[in-house]
């Protein structure tokens, strides 16, 4: 079992930055791939970024490449999403998720999910 709690969301102006955190409790955080997903009102959930359990393998959705950075600190059982140059289109509820299998961009492969944190970007 893994429990995930996101924090760091809020209201920011376009061009601003936020850093989301996802704290995990339970065992063996270090062996899970960690992903960030988001869901905007009226839209389906979409993949944002993921970080492999070993090494520094990461993958990003095209629209956030160069603006968002995913990182993890296994000693703190935490994964982060640094979001820079935010755009109104980034407005969504952001969720972190954990997965034991191959690094995936597909939400259905993730086993554990947090409750989400709201990010609102004003123009």
**What's the pLDDT tens digit per position in 41-91?**
999 999 999 999 987 899 999 999 999 999 999 999 999 999 999 999 999
Considering the chain, what is the average pLDDT of its residues?
96
Cα separation, 37 vs 106, in Å, equals 9
Of all residues in the chain, what percent carry a pLDDT higher than 90? 93
The stretch 27-43 carries a mean pLDDT of 94
Residue 34 structure tokens: 């960690």
Cα separation, 30 vs 82, in Å, equals 20
Higher pLDDT, residue 69 or 26: 69
User: Which one, of 51, 43, 45, lies nearest residue 24 by Cα?
Assistant: 51
Cα separation, 12 vs 5, in Å, equals 21
Looking at the chain, how many residues does it have? 123
Of all residues in the chain, what percent carry a pLDDT higher than 70? 100
Residue 87 structure tokens: 């755009």
Q: What is the pLDDT of residue 55?
A: 76
Q: What is the pLDDT of residue 27?
A: 72
1, pLDDT greater than 90: no
**Three-state DSSP state, 88:** helix
Q: What is the pLDDT of residue 99?
A: 94
Strand duo 117-122 + 10-13: pairing: parallel
């Amino acid at each position: 079992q893994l429990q995930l709690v996101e924090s760091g969301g809020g209201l920011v102006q376009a061009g601003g930055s936020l850093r989301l955190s996802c704290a995990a409790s339970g065992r063996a955080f270090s062996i899970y791939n960690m992903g960030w997903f988001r869901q905007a009102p009226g839209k389906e959930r979409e993949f944002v970024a993921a970080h492999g359990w070993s090494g520094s393998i990461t993958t990003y959705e095209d629209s956030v490449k160069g603006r968002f950075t995913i990182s993890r600190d296994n000693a703190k059982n935490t994964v982060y999403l640094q979001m820079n140059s935010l755009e109104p289109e980034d407005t969504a509820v952001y969720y972190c998720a954990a997965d034991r299998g191959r690094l995936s961009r597909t939400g259905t492969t993730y086993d554990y999910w947090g409750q989400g944190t709201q990010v609102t970007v004003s123009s």
